[in-house]
Structure 1
Amino acid sequence: MRVPARLVPLTALTAVSALLTGCFSGSEPAADDSGPGGKRIRVAMLQPPRSGLSPLSDDAFKLSRWSTAETLVKLDKEGDAQPALATEWKQSGKSWTFTLRDGVTFHDGTKLTPEAVVASLTKAATASPKPRILDGVELTAKAEGDQVTVTTATVDPLVPQRLSSPQLSILAARAYKGKTVDPVGAGTGPFELTKVNGTSSATLDRYDDYWGEKAKAPGIDVKFVPDGTARAAALRSGEADIAEAIPVSQAAVLDQDLITEVPMPRTNTLYLNTAKGAFKNPALRAAAREAIDAKAIVEGVYEGRADVAEGLLGPALPWAAELRTPVKHATAGKANGQTITIGTYTDRSEMPEVAAALQQQLQKAGFKVKLDVREYTNIESDALAGRFDAFVLSRATVLDSGDPAAYLYSDFASDGSFNLSRFADPEADKALRKAADTPVGDARRKAIVQAEAAVLAQDAAVPMLHERVIQGDAAGVVNAAHDPRERELVTAETYIK
C-alpha cells in the first residue's frame, strides 16, 4: 500500500533536500544580470539520457525541450507544419523541396547549409535502428543549390510533419565525427549545450548569435532527477525553478499555484505478448482485458488525475472519440492458473503502482502474476526482445509527428521498431499502412481510427488510461512552456523574475 505523500517522514524529505543541495548551485556558470532574465533557469528533469543525448534516440526530446537543437519544420497547436529552419516547402510527387532560412549558424560558428541538412537527415535515415518517425519510410535527401530535396520511396503526405520530429534535428558536422552523435556545441537553437555530465546533469548557455529572438535567460542548468519525490522536493525547497513530471502523489502537497495539469496525448497501456506464452492465446488476452478495471487504477493510483481510456488515442485527440465505433473482441477464456510475468519501470513513479494493481486484478481472474520492475534503461532491451508476457508502458501517441499513425505503426506493425506485443497480423498491417499513406485530413483520421480498431480487436494491447502531465514552475518563472507533445519546456521567452 502506498504511503500518502503528506505522511512521508520529514527525515526523508530532509535527505532528499540535502541530496539536491548543490545540484543547481556552485557548479554552474555565474548569472548574467542583463535583460529581464538575469538568472539561470534550474530544471529538474524526469529521465536521464539513455543514449548520450543522441538525437537519434528519445534523448532528442530533451534537446528540443531545452531549445538547443532545431528541425526544418515545427508544429503549431493543431499539429500543422510551420516554418523553422526551413521557410517554405513544396511537394512534387514523392519529393518535397525545402528552402532554408538565411543567416542561421550552428553553435560552433559554422553556417547552416543544404549539405549540413543532408548530412543530418542521411545519418538519421541510415541509422540502425531508425528513429521511430522513419519506421517503414525510405527517405533520401539531396542538396540542390540553396535548397534541400527530400524524397521517399512512395508518396508520403506526412513528410513535413515527420521533419518536425526532434529525432530529425539538424546538427553541425562536428556532431557526427565520433562513433556516436554528440550534440554538444552543435545545435542552432537559442541555447547552446556546453557540457553534459553523464546521466547526472547538463549545462546550456545563451547563444547570442541565434537567428531568432535572443533568449531572455542567460542559461539553463539541468539536473536529472528520476525520483518523483525528489523532483517535487526540489521545487518546494527552491532548489529547482522548473520540475518536470510531478507525480500525482506529490501534486496534492504542493502549492497548487505552482503546478499546471496538462492533458497529454499519452496512454498508459498494457502490451500483451502475442508471439509466445499465455497471451499467444487470443482467449487469454481477452480474459486479461476483461479483468482490468481501469477506473480503479485511475482513482487509486492517479488520484483522479487521468482519464479512463476508451481506445489507444485519448482526449488530446478529440476526433478519435467522434469517429470510433465499438470493437468486436474475441471471447474470453479462463486463466486456470496460467503464470504470467509483467514488466514495467521505476522512472515514472506511478508505473510500479499500476503494475501492482494489475497483479491483483489479474490474480482475481485466475492468473498467477509475477512482477519485474527496474529502471527503464535496464529493462527496455528485455521488453523489446519479448521476454515478458506483458509490459506496462506510458506511451506518447503523437510524440514524433503530431500524427498518431507513426506511433501505431511503430508499436503494432509486424515490422514496427517498438513492437512490444510482438504483434503480426496481416489485416492490421494493411490498416496501419493505409493510415500512414492517406493524405492529411478527415480521410486520414478515419483510417487511423480503423487501424486502432484492428489492433484492439486482437487485444494486442489494453489501453488503460490517458495521462495528464503535472509540471511544477516556481513563482518567479515566466513563460515556461506547457506542451502536451513534450517538445518544449524552456524557450527563448522563458526567464526568472
Structure 2
Amino acid sequence: MRVPARLLSLTAVSAASALLTGCFAESESTGASGEGKRVRLAMMQPPRSGLSPLSDDAFKLSRWSTAETLVKLDAEGDAEPALATEWRQSGRTWTFEIREGVTFHDGTELDAESVVRSLTAAADASPKPRILDGVELTAKADGDRVTVTTATEDPLVPQRLSSPQLSILAAKAYRGKTVNPLGAGTGPFELTKVNGTSSASLDRYDDYWGERAKAPGIDVKFVPDGAARAAALRSGEADIVEAVPVSQAALLDEESITEVPMPRTNTLYLNTSDGPFEDASLRAAARKAIDAGSIVKGVYEGRADVAEGLLGPALPWAAELRTDVRRAAAKKADGETVTIGTFTDRAELPEVAATLQQQLQQAGFKVKLEIREYANIESDALAGEFDAFILSRATVLDSGDPAAYLYSDFASDGSFNISRLADSSVDKVLKKAGATATGEARRKAVIEAEAAVLATDAAIPMLHERVIQGDAEGVVGAAHDPRERELVTADTYVK
C-alpha cells in the first residue's frame, strides 16, 4: 500500500536534506569572473562508467553542455548543425563540413582528424555505443571534411551522429580503451572535477565557439534518493532537480515543478504466438477491458497521459498524423488463465500489474502475476514465457527516431519482440518506415507502421510517462527536454 506523500516524516525530510548539506557550499559564492551564481544541480543517477561518452553516462555530459556532437535534433527530431555545419549524402557515404573556429577545453583545435578519432573510437568499442548497434560505420578525414560510410545505405546517419554517445572529444580523452572527458569537450562548460559517484564541477569555458554561458559554472551532486532530491529543492540547497518522484511532487510548490512528456510508453505486450492471446479476439477482449484512465489517476496520481497510440505527446507530430485503426472484434473471455509478467525496477509497474489483474478478472480472465527484478525476467519475457508483459518502453532510441523501436519490438525478426508477432503485412510497413528519407514522408510512414501494429492488438499502449523536473524560483532558462539531452545550457542562470 502506498503511503501518502504528505505523511513523509519530519525526520525523513531532515535526513534527506542532510545528504545535501555542504554539497553545494561553493555555489553560494560568485564564479571566478565575479558575476552571477553557479548552478547547483541534483541528479538522480551517478555515473556508471566513469562518465565515458561511450556509455549512457554520455547523456550527463550532454545535459551539462560540456560535450557536443556533429549534429543536434530539433523538436521534430530532424537534424540541425552543431559541430558540423552542413552535410550531404551519396549512397552509403555522408560528407560533413566541420565547423571552423572551435577549440576543445584543453585549447587544441577541432579538425577533421579529431572528429575521425572520436567516431572511430566509438565504432571500434566493445561493446559499441547503443546507437551503433548493428551498424557498420567508418569515418575518414578529407581535408576540412569528414566522410562517414555505412555498410548499407542509411538515411538516419545524421540523426545517429546526434547521439551524446558519439560526442567529439580532444585527443587527450583517449587513453587505451578508456575515454576520460575531463577538460576535453567543446561545450560552453568545461568539466573540471569529478568526485567518483558523488559529485562533479564544471566552469564556464570563455573561448566557446557559440554564445558565452550566462552562468559561471555548474556544481553537480548525484542523489539517487528521490526524497533527498525533493528535499534539496524545498530547502533551497539545489537550484535544479531532475526526476522528482510522483510521491514527492505534492510536497513542492506547484510553480517550481515542470512535467515533461517523455518518449516512453507503458505498454501491455500480448504473446501472439502461444497461449490464449494467440486468438486475436481475446487480445481484443483484453484491450477493451483495460481502463488506462484509472491507472493514470490511481497509480500515477494524474501525472501521466492516457495513450492514444504507441507514440505519445513527446512526439507532437504523431497525434496530428494518426488516423482511426481497424481492429478485430472482441469475444467474451470465459475463464481463460493468463500470466502477466513485469518488474520491480520501476516502482509503478507492480501497481499497474495489480490494477490490470483486477480489470482483466472483471472481464472474465483468470490472472496470475509474476514480478521480479528486470535482470531476472527479461530473458523469460523474450522467450515467450508469459501470456502478457508490462513494459515501460522508450519509443525513440538514441537517434530520436521511432522507426528503430517499432522494428525492434514488432518485426518478425525484431530483437526485442516480446509479443512474438510474425505478420508479413506489419513487416512490410516497418521496413518501409525504416527506409524512408527523414522528414514528413518518414513521419507518415512511421504512423502507418504504428497503425499496422495496433491493428493486431499485439501491444496495448496504456499511458505515456512524464518526468517531473524541479526548478528553484531564481532559475532562468533551464531546459525541459523530453529526450533528456539538455538541462543546463548556455542560457541557464540563477538570479
Please tell me the TM-score bracket, short chain as reference: 0.7 to 0.9
Aligned residue for 1:13?
13
Measured at CA, do residues 387 and 379 of structure 1 come closer, stay the same or move farther in structure 2, by a change above 3 Å? farther
Q: Which residue of 1 aligns with 2:441?
A: 443
Q: Which amino acid aligns with 2:19?
A: L
Q: Which amino acid aligns with 2:118?
A: S
Tell me the equivalent position of 1:258. Answer: 256
Distance change in 2, residues 1:40/1:391 (3 Å)? farther
Q: Match of 2:266?
A: 268
CA RMSD of aligned residues (A): 3.2
- Displacement after TM superposition at 1:100 (Å): 0.6
Q: 1:183 to 1:319 in 2, by over 3 A?
A: same
CA contact (8 A) 2:116 2:140 kept: yes
Structure 1, unaligned runs of 5 or more? none
Give the TM-score normalised by structure 2: 0.87
Residue equivalent to 1:326: 325
In 2, the alpha carbon distance for the partners of 1:181 and 1:279 equals 47
Hey, what's the Cα distance between the residues in 1 that align with 2:381 and 2:343? 11
1:115 equivalent in alignment to 2:113 = yes
Asked if residue 160 in structure 1 is aligned to residue 155 in structure 2, the reply is: no
3-state SS in 1 of match to 2:370? strand
CA contact (8 A) 1:35 1:216 kept: no
Answer with 105-114 or 454-463: which moved more: 454-463
Q: Work out whether residues 399 and 485 of structure 1, in 8 Å CA contact, stay in contact via their aligned partners in 2.
A: no
Check conservation: 1:262, 1:469, Cα contact below 8 A. Answer: yes
Q: Which residue of 2 aligns with 1:138?
A: 136
SS of the counterpart of 1:453? helix
Q: Contact 2:129/2:165 (CA < 8 Å) preserved in 1?
A: yes
Q: 2:202 is matched with which residue?
A: 204
**Distance in 2, Cα, partners of 1:395 & 1:466:** 10
What is the CA deviation profile of residues 218-237 of structure 1, one whole-angstrom value per residue up to 9, with x for unaligned ones?
32222222333222111111
Asked if 1:34 corresponds to 2:33, the answer is yes
Measured at CA, do residues 342 and 261 of structure 1 come closer, stay the same or move farther in structure 2, by a change above 3 Å? closer
Q: Which moved more, 1:242-251 or 1:130-139?
A: 130-139
2 CA distance for matches of 1:418 and 1:394?
A: 13
Q: Return the alpha-carbon distance in structure 1 between the equivalents of residues 256 and 207 of structure 2.
A: 33
Give the equivalent residue in structure 2 for 1:481: 479
- The corresponding residue for 2:93 is 95
Normalising by structure 1, what TM-score?
0.87
SS in 1 for 2:100: coil
* Number of aligned positions between the proteins: 490
Counterparts of 1:454 and 1:161, CA distance in 2:
25
Equivalent position to 1:232, from 222, 230, 233: 230
**Would the aligned equivalents of 2:397 and 2:404 in 1 still touch at CA under 8 Å?**
no
The 1-side partners of 2:419 and 2:107 are apart by 45
SS of equivalent to 2:77:
coil
What is the deviation of 1:256? Answer: 1.7
Question: Cα distance 1:426–1:186, how it changes in 2: closer, same or farther (>3 A)?
Answer: farther
Structure 1 stretch 57-66 or stretch 17-26: which is displaced more? 17-26
AA matched with 2:372: D
Counterparts of 1:51 and 1:350 in 2: how far apart (Å)?
A: 27
1:150 alignment partner in structure 2: 148
Cα distance, 1:312 vs structure 2? 0.8
Query: Per the alignment, do residues 145 and 178 of structure 1 end up closer, same or farther by CA in structure 2, a change over 3 Å counting?
Result: same
How many Å separate the matches in 1 of 2:91 and 2:59?
31
Deviation at 1:293, TM superposition (A): 2.2
Contact map agreement 2:342 2:370 (CA 8 A) in 1: yes
Query: Cα gap change, 1:399/1:217 in structure 2, threshold over 3 Å: closer, same or farther?
Result: farther
SS at match of 1:345: coil
TM-aligned CA distance change 1:350 to 1:469, over 3 Å: same
Question: Contact 1:135/1:409 (CA < 8 Å) preserved in 2?
Answer: no
Q: Which residue of 1 aligns with 2:44?
A: 46
**Secondary structure of the residue that 2:305 maps to in structure 1?**
strand
Corresponding letter in the other structure for 2:247: S
CA 1:152–1:355 in structure 2 vs 1: closer, same or farther (change >3 Å)? same
Q: Which amino acid is 1:401 matched to? A: S
Displacement of 1:418: 5.3
Higher deviation after alignment, 330-339 or 256-265: 330-339
